[in-house]
Amino acid sequence: MNEPPTLAFLIPFASRKVKSKWNIACAHLRQTLRSIQNSRSGNYCVVVAGHEPPDFDVSFDSRFQFLSLNHPIPSDDNYTPGLVLDKLTKIAAAWNYAKPIWNPKYVMKLDADDLISSRLVDWLENSSGETGYLIKHGWVWRPGSRYLLQRTELFDRTCGSCLIIRNDVADQTGPFLTEWEGVPSDGEISSFAASAEHSAIRGSRISTLLLNDTCTQFASQFAYLGHRLPTVPFNAVVYRTGNADSVEGGIRQRTPQTPTLRMLVGRIRRTRLITKALRKEFMLG
């Protein structure tokens, strides 16, 4: 590339040793990459970092690169923080690879089973150049549902694939609380973090804007460092749910709670048909 790409996608890919259905994990990753390849603007690069490559060649597009790592795989001991640290280690390695080679203008962490809008890269290419952008508008999709998905305006409370950071601030540090320190995500501290998005919660370690896992705290972390974090003005990502092996917010997805009547009404109000336009925009299968 003669000019630096607008956006680098960093995708951590879990080891087959922690995946109960490796073939499904690989199929989801392929679909994620296809959604990126479907972008209106081709001004991007992608680094997938994992212990083992998937069962297909990631470099089917010259902008895609697989980075093989060999750090210890999370064990059953202290499993929750281990999964998060594994994910962040892969993101760090992907960034250390992408930054000197491509020097992208922006960077985005993307889970290996989420899908992006074909509009995102093009929109970012023509944006005002803020230090970062938060994705608050998105879709929640259970793949078993062939015709329905749910709209949300609280995407950043649900999915870690919600933050775009400018290259020059991605490595800025702060005393940000991270779940890989061993703080349980279903505990009192995490509940406070979700309700106090404008108040940065201090942790015992120094973390960067890129290398932390507390998505509900992204806005406050930017504010702590003196940066604005405006919102992407459209539904930019599809969050795939219902995957037993997914790691979101530091733990495997929890067993869904029994919905109340109010929750059911809310879900119905947010539910939309998967139209041909949505299938094309996100490469929904």
Per-run averaged pLDDT (10 residues), the chain, 285 residues? 89 94 95 98 98 96 96 75 89 97 98 98 96 97 87 93 98 79 49 48 72 87 94 97 58 51 62 95 91
Is-contact 214 169, C-beta < 8 A? Answer: no
The reported pLDDT for the residue numbered 200 is 55
Global confidence as pTM = 0.87
Structural domains of the chain ordered from first start: 7-282 (3.90.550)
The reported pLDDT for the residue numbered 217 is 87
The reported pLDDT for the residue numbered 81 is 78
The reported pLDDT for the residue numbered 213 is 81
Is-contact 112 13, C-beta < 8 A? Answer: yes
In 3D, which of 183, 191, 189 has the Cα closest to residue 157?
A: 191
The reported pLDDT for the residue numbered 211 is 92
